[in-house]
Amino acid sequence: MKTRPGHRALLYIFTSLLFLAILSTSAPHAQTQEPDPGSRVLITGVDINGQGFPLAIVDLRQGTATTLITFANRPACAPAVFPGGETVLYEPAPLSSPTNVYRINTATGERNALPFAPENRLSCPVVSPDGTAIAWIDHSRPEAPEGVAHDTLVITDPELENPVQVTSADKIFDVQWSPGSSVLVYQTTTAESPFLELHSVLRSDSSEPKLIWPTQQGIVQDYIWVNDSTGLLIAYYTESELNVGVLSVECIIGTDEACEPQSLASFATDSTVSLLSAFSPVSREMVISVQRLNPVTNRPISDLWLIDLTGEQPPEQLTFTPDIYETEAHWSTEGDAIYFIGSQLEEDNTTFRGRIFRLVLDSDAPAEIIFESTIFSPGSFLWWYH
């Protein structure tokens, strides 16, 4: 029986997530080359002895790390960072009522629970790039009958006051602010449409949401705003391939109903793509991670690819490392190198060890390890300090 693209997408997403969970036994301590000045980074991690999930600041120049705080549970959603990287909102899994969200001061490591009312179910905070608002998903009606909205998209100010209900749906996922903090995009499912559909809505409380990607155009696998606000990158499956394209701003917030993306790259349908927040500071390029299963070992493998956002150049594979699973990437401030988190299978063939690598562009030299630890394994980049 032939697997439908949507089912195949979900299968490979699940496989990748399961693989990342296995990385809980991996670990980050050494420096072999000189990073650029913007070399302090706030990261999430996983304690290699199973003692929790730390937030840490890594100094790549010194090859050291300072653990700010360690949570017993992994984050329920991606931690939200305020501009400047001085404050983080962290919600431990599982989701609970009332909501259990902490505000962490990255200068002191101080942690304070947000003062939510007992009936509150605001969850998965996303801070606007200008720092003036927080988007939440309100799960206040988890037992609502079929056909009645369970989730509401809510915006508050940073003090959790002046809540504005933006829209409701059966389920809301993956809320993202535009770089200018004026538009939100998010995914929904309904009883009529069990596959994820992509919507946009202006920050103004008087605007109506717009369906920008119905399921008949393809099954959405990932999406992210272009860093200069010129569009929304989207990875989606069709019957024949996995495509990466960009939707114009007019397509996202304009009056036209049809949204056709500009094609940038395509991959086989047995792949998945992670659209990383890795945009070049000197050109219209970005780095993505492409994952697939190794047909010999049946383990997930990944490589980094360079994508030309103008669509004028074909995608270029940057890494050829089946033994390294790349999950995060970031351009150096000079645009001449890329940092990435990669995990490798240890000699025991059961443990993955996480490290931070540096790949110099326009060089034949392989990526070098610039940070590893005997205490924790890096999980994701949250903020780069410059």
Residue 37 sits in a domain whose CATH number is 2.130.10.10
Tell if the pTM clears 0.75, that is, is over it: yes
pLDDT value, residue 258: 66
The pairing of strands 242-248 and 134-138 is unpaired
What is the chain's pLDDT, residue by residue, as a tens digit (386 residues)?
A: 333 334 334 333 333 433 343 333 233 333 334 555 568 999 999 999 889 999 999 999 999 999 999 999 999 999 999 999 999 999 999 877 677 899 999 999 999 999 887 777 899 999 999 999 999 999 876 556 665 668 999 999 999 999 999 998 889 999 999 999 999 999 998 777 778 899 999 987 678 899 999 989 999 999 999 999 999 999 999 999 999 999 999 999 988 776 889 999 999 999 999 999 999 999 999 999 999 988 888 888 899 999 999 999 999 999 999 889 999 999 999 999 999 999 988 777 677 889 999 999 999 999 999 999 999 999 999 999 98
Long-range contact pairs involving 138-145 (C-beta distance under 8 Å, separation at least 24): 138/165, 139/95, 139/97
User: Two tokens at 235?
Assistant: 């990875």
Cα 203 from chain centre: 21
Q: Using an 8 Å Cβ cutoff, are 331 and 287 in contact? A: yes
Q: Which residues of 321-351 are buried (b: 16+ CB within 10 A; e: fewer)?
A: beebbbbbbbbbbeeebbbbbbbebeeeeeb
Count of structural domains within the chain? 1
**Structural contact between residues 234 and 176, judged by C-beta atoms closer than 8 angstroms:** no
> Residue 53's beta-bridge partner residues?
71
Cα-based angle 35, 37, 42 (whole degrees, multiple of 5):
85
Among 342, 239, 247, 238, residue whose Cα is nearest residue 287: 342
Supply the DSSP symbol for 208: P
- The reported pLDDT for the residue numbered 36 is 59
Range of 368's domain?
5-385
Amino acid 30: pLDDT:
31
Residue 19 pLDDT:
36
